Structure 1
Amino acid sequence: MIRIISLFSGCGGLDLGFEQVGDYKTVWANDFKHEACETFRNHFGDVILEGDIEQVDPYTNQDIPECDIILGGFPCQDFSIIWKRPGLDGERGNLYKSFLRFVDAKKPKAFVAENVKGILTANKRKAIRQIIEDFQNIAPGYVVIPHLYNFAEYGVPEYRERVLIVGIRSDIGFDFKHPKPTHGTASGLQPLVTVGDAFKGVEEVPFNNEQLRVTERTKTIISLIPEGGNFTSIPKDSPYYVKGMISHVYRRIHRNEPSKTIIAAGGGGTWGYHFPENRPLTNRERARIQSFPDDFVFFGNTTEVRRQIGNAVPPVGVHALAKALKPLFSGDFTPVDLTARLEELKNMPFEVRYAEIMKPL
Structure 2
Amino acid sequence: MKSITKEVCYVKQLELFHPFKYTYEKFDFTFIDLFAGIGGFRIALEELGGKCLGYSEVDKEAIKVYESNFKNLPEASLGDIRKINKLPFEVDVVVGGVPCQPWSVAGKLKGFEDPRGKLWLDTIRVVEINKPKVFIFENVKGLIEPINRKSFEYIVNSFAIIGYSVKSQLLNSYDFGVPQNRERVFIVGIRNDLEHHKNFSFPEPLEIKPKLYSFIEGVQHCSKFSKSKLAAEILFGEKIPRSRNRFQKNDELNDFFIFCDTRDGHTTIHSWDIIRTSEREKLICYTILKNRRKKQYGAKDGNPLSFEVLAQLIPKLKQKELNKLIEKNILRYIENEGYEFVNSKNSTGINGVYRVFLPHSDIIPTLTATGNKDYIAKISIEGCENPEEYKSKFIKEIYKKKKFKPISAKDAGRLQGFPDWFIMAENEDTAKKQFGNAVPIPVVYHLMKTLLNQVKFDQKL
User: Who is 2:366 aligned against?
Assistant: 261
**Which one of the candidate residues 21, 29, 32 is aligned to 1:5?**
32
**Which one of the candidate residues 28, 33, 56 is aligned to 2:59?**
33
CA contact (8 A) 2:137 2:188 kept: yes
How far apart are 1:50 and its partner, in Å? 7.0
User: Who is 2:306 aligned against?
Assistant: none
- Bigger-Rg structure (1/2): 2
Unaligned runs of 5+ in 2: 1-27, 221-253, 261-267, 272-284, 286-327, 331-341, 379-402
CA contact (8 A) 2:36 2:96 kept: yes
User: Who is 2:233 aligned against?
Assistant: none
CA contact (8 A) 1:16 1:315 kept: yes
CA deviation vs aligned residue, 1:193-215 (integer Å, no higher than 9, x gap): 11111125799xxxxxxxxxxxx
Alignment length (residue pairs): 293
**Which one of the candidate residues 44, 49, 54 is aligned to 1:17?**
44
User: Who is 1:350 aligned against?
Assistant: none
Structure 2 CA distance for aligned equivalents of residues 125 and 3 of structure 1: 32
- RMSD of aligned Cα (Å): 2.6
How far apart are 1:79 and its partner, in Å? 0.6
Structure 2 CA distance for aligned equivalents of residues 23 and 202 of structure 1: 35
Q: Secondary structure at the match of 1:93?
A: coil
Structure 1 CA distance for aligned equivalents of residues 258 and 437 of structure 2: 22
How far apart are 1:99 and its partner, in Å? 1.2
How far apart are 1:243 and its partner, in Å? 4.1
**Which one of the candidate residues 61, 65, 70 is aligned to 2:94?**
70
CA deviation vs aligned residue, 1:293-340 (integer Å, no higher than 9, x gap): 1110112522221121001111112222111122325269xxxxxxxx
Aligned pairs for 1:318-329 within 5 A: 318-327=444-453, 328=455
Return structure 1 stretches of 4+ with deviation > 6 angstroms.
none
CA contact (8 A) 1:231 1:244 kept: no
How far apart are 1:27 and its partner, in Å? 1.6
Structure 2 CA distance for aligned equivalents of residues 247 and 171 of structure 1: 53
Structure 2 CA distance for aligned equivalents of residues 26 and 201 of structure 1: 36
Q: Secondary structure at the match of 2:99?
A: coil
1:85 paired with 2:109, answer: yes
Structure 1 residues 98 and 271 mapped into 2: Cα distance closer, same or farther (>3 Å)?
farther
Structure 1 CA distance for aligned equivalents of residues 218 and 132 of structure 2: 41
TM-score by length of 1: 0.74
CA deviation vs aligned residue, 1:150-200 (integer Å, no higher than 9, x gap): 110111221110000000001103221111111xxxxxxx24211111125
Q: Secondary structure at the match of 2:180?
A: coil
User: Who is 1:185 aligned against?
Assistant: none
1:58 paired with 2:163, answer: no
Q: Identity over the aligned pairs, expressed in percent?
A: 32
User: Who is 1:100 aligned against?
Assistant: 124
**Which one of the candidate residues 242, 255, 258 is aligned to 2:343?**
242
Structure 2 CA distance for aligned equivalents of residues 87 and 137 of structure 1: 21
User: Who is 2:411 aligned against?
Assistant: 285
Unaligned runs of 5+ in 1: 183-189, 204-225, 333-361
How far apart are 1:86 and its partner, in Å? 1.6
The amino acid of 1:264's aligned partner reads A
The amino acid of 1:2's aligned partner reads F
TM-score by length of 2: 0.59
Structure 2 CA distance for aligned equivalents of residues 93 and 75 of structure 1: 7
How far apart are 1:227 and its partner, in Å? 5.7
